[in-house]
């Protein structure tokens, strides 16, 4: 029989405790977990059918650039490349043109551009990523090596990162010249070194933030997509376990645990799941499954493997989803698989409902507290939310046919102040930067074209203006795009500011968002 000393010695044994900062259970999980669901999970662990994710995979964060406006760029399609760059179809496989966060185009070698997955919207299905024109500028060579290779475009872009301030936010940590920022300048061996990990096995991408949709996406070993900081990478310790882990992470078994382990820190019912939360999830133990059991799981998962993620309430009602989740729970050790499935479904729906009702219950308190918040921080935060949900203001240059006749309109001097178009008899056709005429065009339509281009590219020294009658068609198409964009902006704006009571603050948010989206 153990005495008091034996108990003390037991408490002193480090093996009695989990890793620091990596708990098997969260307080929210301990408080909210139902006894029935808890018993099922504990039984699965006891019989070796379930194991913590940490035992079969590593979970790591994505690449953190510290200057997204500089490092994350948008690749232009061949038809959208301005003629002044003189890129032919023969050049295009080797070099392209990208738009940085300041909406300035740059020529860049493809060798230094990487596909990225950024945010839950990049996860199209459990087995596919959504195509995107976003790219990561990842230069791994020294400047001496770039000169030796004659990669002058990359050198010019690095020079821009050392001389041009990138300020797209009021946050002081997100402004200034990238190479001189405190959290970038000490990188080794070069300030632009991002240290993108090299992946040689299949992996699963999972989001940090979720709302009503749960998704995990398996990426093949040959896919070199770079994961950005709003996603995590789950890398199996054994490559052959990737499918089993992916099935688990896309199952009701894990959805329920995510709901309990995550935290609602964003004030709107959004679930935030950090790396320790993911590592503590219980998943199917690949070692406990026979080849026949894996094949059966693969077959029932097939109808879901290519389906776009839908809200959990809708997904749980699908017959094929019910068959899959029941089989996962059966493999987890549930003898009455359908009854177990209903238990987890009921508990998940209740937990999700409670999470969203909780965020709505403090809505009035948020409104009352809004006046106490710093106006500049609030404006920037709300405006950034609007800007993140929309494409930038339509650029009329995208509507110009490649073979269109154009005339160069010179921009007389640097732009200072708001870009406007003259509307009276004497200034019709003039484009103003503040109170100064910076360009003169034949008519108002031409002036509107030039103004819209300058909103996107303030450093341009001339604008290729389409000649009539092509200009009329270009502007008609552009005006249609602007009309659709304005409607989308209005919807995003109304959604973002519904908690703001002060009309002056609402207007500041609107103007700031328009500026971020190059609409004024």
The pLDDT value recorded for residue 374 is 46
Strands (DSSP E) found in 180-295: 203-207, 209-210, 217-219, 226-227, 231-236, 271-272, 282-284
As a three-state string, the secondary structure of 480-491 is: HHHHHHHHHHHH
Confidence band of 231 (pLDDT split at 50, 70, 90): very high
Can you tell me the distance from the alpha carbon of 248 to that of 216, in angstroms, rounded to the nearest whole number?
9
What residue segments make up the domains of the chain, in order of their start?
24-60+209-216+238-361, 68-180, 396-514
Average pLDDT over residues 215-232: 94
Average pLDDT over residues 254-274: 83
Helices and strands (DSSP H and E) totals, the chain: 19, 21
The pLDDT value recorded for residue 132 is 93
- Of 151-155, 157-161, 258-262, least confident by mean pLDDT is 258-262
Which tokens hold the place of 446?
Answer: 């031409």
DSSP 8-state code for residue 119: S
| pLDDT tens string 97-108 | 999 988 899 999
The fraction of the chain above a pLDDT of 70, given in percent, is 86
pLDDT at 367 over 80: no
Q: Which helix (H) or strand (E) holds 109?
A: strand 105-109
DSSP 350-419: HHHHHHHHHHHHTHHHHHHHHTTS-HHHHHHHHHHHHHHTSPPSPPGGGGS-TT--EEEEE--S---S-E
| pLDDT tens string 476-488 | 888 888 888 888 8
CA angle 303–305–311, rounded 5-degree value: 90
The pLDDT value recorded for residue 480 is 84
pLDDT at 14 over 60: no
The pLDDT value recorded for residue 173 is 59
The span from the first CA to the last CA of the chain, in angstroms, equals 80
Can you tell me the distance from the alpha carbon of 172 to that of 244, in angstroms, rounded to the nearest whole number?
44
Can you tell me the distance from the alpha carbon of 415 to that of 433, in angstroms, rounded to the nearest whole number?
5
pLDDT at 465 over 80: yes
The pLDDT value recorded for residue 105 is 93
Confidence band of 32 (pLDDT split at 50, 70, 90): low
SS3 category, 231 = strand
Can you tell me the distance from the alpha carbon of 56 to that of 62, in angstroms, rounded to the nearest whole number?
19
Residues 6+ away with beta carbon under 8 Å from 164: 102, 177
In which region does residue 176 sit, left (phi positive, over 0), alpha (psi from -120 to 50) or beta (all else)? left
| pLDDT tens string 331-341 | 999 999 999 99
Phi, psi dihedral angles at 128 (to 5 degrees): -145, 145
Which tokens hold the place of 195?
Answer: 């240290």
Average pLDDT over residues 445-469: 80
Q: How many CB atoms lie within 10 A of CB 238?
A: 13
Residues forming a β-bridge with 406: 466
pLDDT at 371 over 70: no
Average pLDDT over residues 301-308: 95
The pLDDT value recorded for residue 116 is 96
Which tokens hold the place of 243?
Answer: 């499918």
Can you tell me the distance from the alpha carbon of 164 to that of 100, in angstroms, rounded to the nearest whole number?
12
Chain centroid to Cα 278, Å, comes to 19
pTM tops 0.85, yes or no: no
Can you tell me the distance from the alpha carbon of 14 to that of 11, in angstroms, rounded to the nearest whole number?
8
The pLDDT value recorded for residue 17 is 47
In terms of pLDDT, which residue wins out, 18 or 228?
228
Can you tell me the distance from the alpha carbon of 258 to that of 85, in angstroms, rounded to the nearest whole number?
49
Residue identified by tokens 């328009």 is: 514
Confidence band of 492 (pLDDT split at 50, 70, 90): confident
Cβ–Cβ < 8 Å for 507, 481: no
As a three-state string, the secondary structure of 459-471 is: CCCEEEEECCCHH
The pLDDT value recorded for residue 79 is 92
Which tokens hold the place of 240?
Answer: 């052959």
- Of 34-38, 127-131, 420-424, least confident by mean pLDDT is 420-424
pLDDT at 373 over 50: no
The pLDDT value recorded for residue 224 is 93
C-alpha gyration radius of the chain: 27
Chain centroid to Cα 124, Å, comes to 12
Which tokens hold the place of 301?
Answer: 């998962």
The pLDDT value recorded for residue 354 is 84
Cβ–Cβ < 8 Å for 514, 496: no
């Amino acid at each position: 029989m153990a005495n008091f000393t034996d108990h003390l010695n037991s408490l002193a044994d480090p093996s009695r405790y989990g890793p620091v900062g990596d708990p098997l259970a969260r307080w929210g999980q301990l408080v909210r977990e139902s006894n029935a669901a808890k018993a099922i999970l504990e039984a699965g662990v006891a019989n070796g059918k379930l194991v913590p994710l940490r035992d079969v995979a590593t979970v790591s964060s994505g690449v953190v650039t510290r200057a997204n406006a500089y490092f994350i760029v948008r690749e232009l399609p061949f038809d959208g490349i301005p003629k002044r760059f003189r890129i032919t179809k023969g050049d295009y496989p080797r070099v392209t043109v990208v738009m940085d966060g300041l909406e300035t185009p740059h020529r860049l070698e493809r060798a230094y551009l990487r596909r990225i997955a950024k945010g839950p919207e990049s996860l199209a299905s459990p087995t596919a990523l959504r195509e995107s024109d976003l790219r990561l500028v990842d230069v791994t060579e020294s400047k001496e090596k770039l000169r030796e290779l004659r990669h002058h475009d990359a050198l010019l872009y690095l020079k821009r990162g050392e001389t041009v301030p990138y300020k797209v936010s009021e946050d002081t940590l997100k402004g200034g010249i990238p190479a001189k920022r405190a959290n970038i300048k000490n990188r080794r061996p070069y300030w632009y070194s991002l240290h993108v990990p090299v992946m040689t096995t299949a992996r699963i991408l999972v989001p940090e933030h979720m709302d009503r949709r749960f998704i995990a996406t398996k990426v093949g070993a040959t896919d070199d997509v770079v994961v950005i900081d709003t996603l995590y990478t789950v890398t199996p310790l054994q490559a052959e376990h990737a499918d089993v882990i992916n099935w688990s992470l896309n199952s009701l078994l894990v959805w329920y645990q995510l709901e309990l382990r995550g935290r609602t820190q964003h004030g709107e019912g959004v679930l935030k799941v950090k790396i320790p939360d993911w590592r503590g999830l219980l998943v199917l133990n690949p070692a406990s499954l026979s080849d026949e059991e894996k094949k059966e799981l693969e077959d029932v998962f097939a109808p879901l493997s290519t389906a776009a993620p839908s809200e959990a309430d809708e997904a749980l009602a699908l017959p094929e989803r019910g068959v899959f989740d029941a089989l996962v729970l059966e493999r987890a050790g549930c003898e009455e698989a359908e009854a177990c499935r209903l238990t987890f479904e009921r508990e998940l729906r209740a937990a999700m409902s409670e999470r969203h009702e909780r965020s709505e219950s403090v809505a009035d308190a948020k409104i009352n507290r809004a006046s106490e918040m710093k106006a500049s921080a609030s404006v920037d935060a709300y405006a950034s939310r609007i800007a993140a949900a929309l494409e930038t203001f339509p650029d009329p240059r995208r509507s110009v046919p490649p073979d269109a006749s154009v005339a160069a309109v010179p921009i007389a001097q640097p732009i200072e102040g708001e870009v406007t178009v003259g509307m009276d008899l004497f200034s019709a056709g003039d484009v103003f930067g503040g109170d100064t005429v910076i360009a003169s065009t034949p008519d108002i339509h031409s002036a509107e074209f030039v103004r819209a281009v300058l909103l996107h590219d303030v450093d341009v020294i001339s604008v290729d203006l389409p000649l009539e009658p092509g200009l009329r068609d270009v502007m008609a198409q552009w005006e249609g795009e602007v009309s659709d964009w304005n409607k989308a902006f209005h919807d995003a704006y109304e959604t973002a500011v519904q908690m703001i009571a002060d009309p002056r603050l609402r207007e500041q948010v609107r103007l700031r968002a328009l500026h971020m989206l190059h609409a004024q």
